[in-house]
Chains A and B, each alone.
Chain A
């Protein structure tokens, strides 16, 4: 498969979750509390896309398979897209952005504080995702800026864990995957140094 058709295929795959959600909306399949369902679904898909974006580099480390690297920008932007939908649903839910209620939440509810932080941290990444911005910032500075994604992911993980009522199994699996991806990166960066230290 050429890069072009791979990109097109991945694009379609990335749009499917939102189309599926819209379809469920039109067929009255969102249950008794549709806004809650849309909030949950857009939230979980944001986290899945975040995991997919963050999996591309570790995949290259482990398999020397760099096919997906050119797709990272697109998958990353879809993460932002689903995060926007998630935030919009929340905003609309609160009487079309009742700022007092939202501010109260952002300040006083740790899980909302974390989620909001994770979302805000994605904004500069989305804004600087174009080739022109990479050139303007310079590769090194651009890369430094884009390390924000790790903080955003950490905030997202806290958001997921803290909003769970009692059963941490499901968020635990997602956050476990994130920790694994972080671990592979850390190993790649520091592992050999650490290994040479202990084996010497």
Chain B
């Protein structure tokens, strides 16, 4: 574990996303015009390719306070091996099908026990928030894992802005649901839309982030563009993708996998090698890209930071 000091860059120094996007657009257009004259249609083809990938370089990403120096998984692995059932059940389906999802414009509904409920445009939400790189382990409940360099910011930054009331004990997140753009969601595999949730102290924990990019670029759709949750000490299905709603609740949210098979997927879903999935072992995992399995660590190796959240709780019961 590599602990680095938090970034001390003033928010005033950071270019607003809308402005930098505009700037990029300007550079693109200018470069396209110049190159276009020189090379004819060639530059256009390149631009179209970049646009179909939907990726933009994110400037001014600072190293975050938490990270790991373990080798990172390749961009190819991270973007081609995904669970995003709204785009199909096979690991390769999301990378094949997710390009149909429109991620701009994007609004997030904030409601429930909160002082500032509203439908927020994502650009307005991100305004002035410094983005950091967080290299996190991700452990899937299916016993595979990756190391991913996310670009994001602490979820607590947004929550503080929304000002939840004292009644708010949980945050419930909802993934976008558009049947016309999500072929996998036409089948009732899960009770759509996908819903996840965190207890308020989990949501406010400094390890919990909202990610908007990885490897320094904006997220691809299969990874949950334009904005997703990352909770590194919990099984991957907790880290909900393509968020369109955050609701602050008094009661524990009814989450998608928990509704589907409550005896297999609990609300907490903390990575725990001593509590097996009813059907398979959680003692070990395969790090994608490595040949041999490796032991799974308690709280996915983040026990120093998060174990205290669960003091006195029976983790066998609250799995």
Contacts and interface: CB of A to CB of B under 8 A. Distances in A.
Number of contact residues on A: which range applies?
A: 20 to 34
Interface stretch (A69-77, A93-101, A173-181): A93-101
Contacts of A95: 292-293
A31 interface: yes
A150 interface: no
A35 interface: yes
A31 B81 contact: yes
Interface stretch (A44-52, A135-143, A163-171, A189-197): A163-171
A20 to B, nearest CB: 17
Nearest to B143: A36
Nearest to B82: A32
B289 A32 contact: yes
Given A165-B142, A166-B189, A167-B189, A35 B286 contact: yes
Interface stretch (B128-136, B161-169, B277-285): B277-285
Given A36-B144, A105-B281, A166-B189, A31 B92 contact: yes
B319 to A, nearest CB: 16
B91 interface: yes
A162 B279 contact: yes
A104 interface: yes
A109 B280 contact: yes
Given A110-B279, A165-B142, A166-B189, A33 B293 contact: no
Contacts of A111: 279-280
Contacts of B91: 31-33
A33 B279 contact: no
Interface residues of B, number: 26
Contacts, number: 51
Interface string B80-94: 110000000101100
B283 to A, nearest CB: 7
Nearest to B289: A32
Contacts of A167: 89, 187, 189
Interface string B274-300: 001001110110101101110000000
A32 to B, nearest CB: 4
Contacts of B292: 95
Contacts of B281: 101, 104-105, 108-109
Nearest to A37: B91
A110 B293 CA distance: 21
A152 B138 CA distance: 37
B21 interface: no
A180 B283 CA distance: 39
Contacts of A93: 286, 293
A181 to B, nearest CB: 27
Contact of B284 (A32, A101, A109, A166): A101
Given A109-B281, A167-B189, A33 B260 contact: no
Interface in B172-197: 187, 189-190
B218 to A, nearest CB: 21
B201 interface: no
B153 to A, nearest CB: 27
B303 interface: no
Contacts of B77: 32
A161 B182 CA distance: 26
Interface in A45-94: 93-94
A111 B279 CA distance: 7
Contacts of A32: 76-77, 80-81, 91, 288-289
A35 B287 CA distance: 11
A103 to B, nearest CB: 12
Nearest to A96: B292
Contacts of A166: 89, 189-190, 260-261
A109 B279 contact: yes
A109 B264 CA distance: 13
B209 to A, nearest CB: 23
Contact of A33 (B261, B276, B284, B286): B286
Nearest to B260: A166
A79 B12 CA distance: 67
A101 B294 CA distance: 12
B308 to A, nearest CB: 31
Closest 8 CB pairs of A and B: A32-B81, A32-B77, A32-B288, A167-B189, A167-B89, A166-B189, A33-B288, A95-B292
Interface of A: 31-33, 35-36, 93-95, 101, 104-105, 108-111, 162-163, 165-167
13 contacts: A31-B92, A32-B77, A32-B81, A33-B81, A33-B91, A95-B293, A101-B281, A101-B284, A104-B283, A105-B281, A109-B281, A110-B279, A167-B89
